[in-house]
Amino acid sequence: MAKLKRHRRDHGGWSGRGAIWLTVLVLALLATGVVMHGHEPMVDADDLGAGWWHRVATVVHGVFAWVFCVVAGRWIWPHIVLVWPRRNGNWIWELGIATALVGGVAALTGLGLLYGAADWREILTAVHWWGGIAWPVACLVHAWKWIIEKMGQRR
């Protein structure tokens, strides 16, 4: 962490590239989640109707979820390590904790949907859906100062 450039250290370890990767992945996860939510699962392999879109979205969603884990390891954990000692109880810091909790719930319910019992599917789907919708919003609100600053630098 000591080798981080001062600019990145001042911004909690985030770089513009990290924010772009996170945004692309979250939008891809959100889009594929919406497709899965809007289409019924494929009944059999010969079904090329709406169920086909559900299957494709499920596979792409799963791939992007694992790539997201790599991005989380690369940028989110260093962010936590740098920011945790600076905690001061302001609302942005507290929203960061809430964002981490919602993201954790979304991740755990996603694993539950992948590997859990069929009896849990209905409740896990609902919790995963609302967590997946709330998490990007929480991220935007948590990072609004940084986003505004980055947009101002590009002009």
pLDDT of residue 133: 93
Q: With bands split at pLDDT 50, 70 and 90, how would you rate the model's confidence at 72?
A: confident
- DSSP summary character for residue 3: T
Q: What is the SS3 assignment for 37?
A: helix
- Judge whether 46 and 53 are in contact, CB under 8 Å: no
Per-residue pLDDT at 1 exceeds 70 = no
pLDDT of residue 7: 47
Higher pLDDT, 141 or 109: 109
Per the structure block, which two tokens stand in for 76? 């989110």
- DSSP summary character for residue 86: G
Average pLDDT, the chain: 81
Per-residue pLDDT at 101 exceeds 60 = yes
Q: Quick one: which of 68, 77, 96 has its CA closest to 4?
A: 77
Based on DSSP, count helices (H) and strands (E) in the chain, helices before strands. 7, 0
Question: Domains of the chain: which residue ranges?
Answer: 1-85, 87-150
Residue whose tokens read 């250290």: 9
Per-residue pLDDT at 81 exceeds 60 = yes
Q: Dump pLDDT digits (tens) for 2-58.
A: 555 554 555 677 777 878 888 899 999 999 999 888 876 655 555 566 677 888 889
